[in-house]
Amino acid sequence: MANWEMQNLIAGRLTDAPQRAEIHDKYSGELIGSMPLATDKHWETAIASAVRAFERFRDFSAERRAGILQALYDGISARENEFIRLIVAEAGKPVGYARSEVRRALDNLSTGIRATLDYAGRMVPMDYLNGKGKTAYTLRIPYGPVLGISPFNFPLNLALHKIIPAVATGSPVLIKPAPQTPLTMGLVARILADADVPEGLVQIVFGTNEQAERAVRDRRFAVLSFTGSDRVGWHLKNISPARKVFLEMGGNAAAVVDNTADVERAAKKLAYGGFLYAGQICISVQRIYVFRSIFDTFTERFLAETARLKTGDPTDEQTTAGPMISAKEVQRIDTWVKKAVKNGARLLAGGKILDASHNLYAPTVLTDVRPGMEVLDNEAFAPVVNILPVDDINAAIAEVNRSRYGLQAAIYSDSYQNIRRFIQGVETGGVIINDIPGFRIDGMPYGGVKDSGLGREGGRWALDEYTQPKLVVLS
């Protein structure tokens, strides 16, 4: 196993620290590398550098900003296989899905480069009242330095969803990676250092949650962009003085299968969407509401598809559900499932720890779950799917909306009336028709409502989040 000894990127230089945090393979437990824990002095240097960078680089041409993103694209592309191996090891992500993350990251950068070159304000209609004879337009002005806090489950691509719009708009960005998976961003730090990116424009600082919280409270950051749990996200919003707070916080994604759906296709897609990467995706399938007339047929088919999925070594190309991120998370979901069963839920599959030494939890299917049970109400972030019967589309929509989350939802149907009603009625940031709620490409506007967050990621939608309009009127 490779030993990745990474460094922070602070004020344009790769930087070490007296203390290093060891990172272990999430499946084998083997030591795979370490990351320096930045000191408080390092954090202060990084924040001050970001402030200086904003004054220097806010007026970079779009061409020059796009060139920085192109250099990052070229660096990641040249080391694609190393990124794949690193993500498999430190995130426990199945190799096929890790490969998909790296390719999505490259597509994300390509989309960002195009958006950078195309991004502009808009003309403002003025030819009426006192505006007759005048011309007006808006410019998009960056708010200022960005603090980005990224999660463990997509250690490359979700950090890029903060870096790309920041660079595209001339906003210096400081990324604090997740403590479970910092090495991927350590490799990005090497690429940025080699590319001679302007000092302070992009910084990667690994540290404690306490240091990150102090940074959140720092008024020198104009934007906070956080991806993670809703509990942490809302806390950070409440303590942040930033002029713009952008939160992406996941959910407990629901899908509806009505009596006109292709049951076999729906069952196959939803099983994969529920158990891929052990359910550790913000939009993993967690709740499935099935019309009562096809409930038994669908459930039988779903259980058969679940049984076909392989759980195990993430380096195996056939693995769908690899390890969970830690032993603590395995114990948490095992406790949730056992509590649900004790309180009346019916276990249809799984419901046990497969291999504690490798952080493997069995793909689990429950029914007869009720509001108040953690497996239904909370974000499981684990290989657990609940299947419940509903009588009609109105009942299905009511159940989908019976959640404090609202990221994405899906419906499998050939009924125009049901699809139309679903689109209008569900309280989510995205609606997916005849595919899993986990469908995403990186240029689409992605984000949620309710406790799933604030703002949108992807393409020019993200650039809008990092900027504000300045009106110009010409007489």
Establish whether 248 is a catalytic residue. yes
Torsional sign, CA 427, 433, 436, 442: negative
Q: 429-450 burial by CB neighbour count: b if 16+ within 10 A, else e?
A: bbbbebbbbbbbebbeebbbbb
Establish whether 22 is a catalytic residue. no
How are the residues of the chain apportioned to helix, strand and coil, as percentages rounded to the nearest 5? 40, 25, 35
Please tell me which residue in 90, 282, 379, 457 is annotated as part of the active site. 282
Torsional sign, CA 299, 300, 304, 307: positive
Please tell me which residue in 90, 199, 248, 457 is annotated as part of the active site. 248
Cα–Cα distance for residue pair 467/166, rounded to 1 Å: 9
Q: In a 3-state reduction of DSSP, which class is residue 179?
A: coil
> Judging by beta carbons within 10 Å of its beta carbon (0-12, 13-18, 19+), is residue 307 exposed, middle or buried?
exposed
Cα distances from 357 to residues 27, 329, 361, 455, in angstroms, run 8, 13, 11, 39
Count CA atoms within 13 Å of residue 193 on its CB side.
17
- Token pair 């490779």 is at which residue? 2
Nearest Cα residue to 98 out of 268, 317, 282? 317
CB 413 within 8 A of CB 260: yes
Nearest Cα residue to 286 out of 233, 360, 364? 364
Residue at 247: amino acid letter: L
Positions marked active-site? 248, 282
